[in-house]
Amino acid sequence: MNKTPITSLGEFGLIDHLTRNIKQYDNGTIKGIGDDTAAIDAGDDLILLTKDLLVEGVHFNIMYTPLKHLGYKSIAVNLSDIYAMNGTPTQVIVGIAISSRYTVEALDEIYDGMKLACEKYKVDLVGGDTTSSVSGLFISVTAMGKVPKDKITYRSGAKANDLICVSGNLGGAYAGLLVLEREKEVFKANPQSQPDLNQFAYVLERQLKPEPRKDIVDLLMEKEIVPTSMIDISDGLASEILHICKSSGVGAVIYEEKIPVDVQTATVAHEFKIDPTTFALNGGEDYELLFTINQEDYDKISALEEIAVIGHITENPAQTDLISTSGNVITIRAQGWDSFREDS
């Protein structure tokens, strides 16, 4: 038997490899693997189904992650996938594998965070499985939602000349991660240190307690806009725009100066001597929505503070360009977060 290292394929290559030749048996399956969620026929509506894992030491470091925030985030990142289909989440089901060195109070903290997210987004926690692990904490959440058939937004609907839009701002979650990692090293060197993290409050919250953009989905509904395509930004803008282009068979041009970056994110980027645009393109975990709209809808969104138009779709699938602030043309490549990357 061959022995191919998992790291050799990369996350998306691995998924493509494992899910090749997947057969379908149920007529109700409208969309299987390959979008933010699966979509299943249910009369006028489609049922949406998605799952995200959070693994200790890979997705979070227990040293600086409050367990309540972790529980909250585990729900939030799944709801984000439902919103990315223009849907409404309705139920979640949770699995936790936890080493017996954790206490009941620790599990309570995780559950309290989950319940808080469920309350905020009016989603029902309807079941799950709690079990022990030999070591480490694993959280697996599945979210279910629904969307009217004429409102669903896949990754595949972007068309030439559509406008590329993004909600909120980007790169903050990665800025928060860098600050936390730096403080961890400071703490290791001097456990008596009392860091003042107030100045980083916003980016820390972006990392530790992201909010899925229900408000954007509501806003689009209110403005009677159905995006032509949509995806949530979990792996960074570069990776996500490439997903949309690949699924839709189109290209894209994005303008660096249009990419929304918060001032605190930019401050951290400068402290770390990294270009803030790199945070936005490759940082990931912002859980903002990236979507495309028909140019006709431009007037409906141009005045909305929470939505930025950052570029447009082109006919040429080979073109995925970033026009830099200084006017250079740079090809966008996916360098998003990959849990199997050797250096991650």
Considering only residues 89-128, where is the footprint of a second copy by CB under 8 A? 90-91, 93-95, 97-98, 100, 102-105, 107-108, 111, 115, 118-119, 122-128
Q: How many CA atoms lie within 13 A of 55 on its CB side?
A: 7
Q: How far apart are CA 208 and CA 66, in angstroms?
A: 8
Residue 124 or 315 having the CB closest to a second copy: 124
Q: Which amino acid is at 15?
A: I
Candidate list 63, 66, 73, 131; residue touching a second copy; CB under 8 A? 131
Give the total of residues touching a second copy (CB under 8 A).
Answer: 82
Residue 105 or 222 having the CB closest to a second copy: 105
List binders of a second copy among 57-86 (CB under 8 A). Answer: 57-59
Query: Helix 67-83 to helix 214-222 angle, to the nearest 10 degrees?
Result: 30
Provide the greatest CA pair distance for the chain: 61
Q: What is the CB neighbour count within 10 angstroms for residue 2?
A: 3
For residue 77, give the nearest of 92, 99, 57 by alpha carbon: 92
Candidate list 63, 132, 263, 328; residue touching a second copy; CB under 8 A? 132
Question: Residue for token digits 């849990």?
Answer: 339
Q: How far apart are CA 325 and CA 323, in angstroms?
A: 7
SS3 49: strand
Residue 91 or 319 having the CB closest to a second copy: 91
Question: Residue for token digits 């939030």?
Answer: 76
Residue 25 or 303 having the CB closest to a second copy: 25
- Positive or negative CA dihedral for 131, 137, 203, 188? positive
Q: What is the CB neighbour count within 10 angstroms for residue 335?
A: 16
Question: What's the closest the beta carbon of residue 292 comes to a second copy, in angstroms?
Answer: 22
Residue 4 binds a second copy, judged by CB under 8 A: yes
Residue 11 or 211 having the CB closest to a second copy: 11
Residue 129 binds a second copy, judged by CB under 8 A: yes
Q: How far apart are CA 40 and CA 63, in angstroms?
A: 40
Residue 314 binds a second copy, judged by CB under 8 A: no
Residue 31 or 209 having the CB closest to a second copy: 31
Question: What's the closest the beta carbon of residue 1 comes to a second copy, in angstroms?
Answer: 5
Question: What's the closest the beta carbon of residue 28 comes to a second copy, in angstroms?
Answer: 6
Residue 343 binds a second copy, judged by CB under 8 A: no
Candidate list 19, 199, 302, 316; residue touching a second copy; CB under 8 A? 19
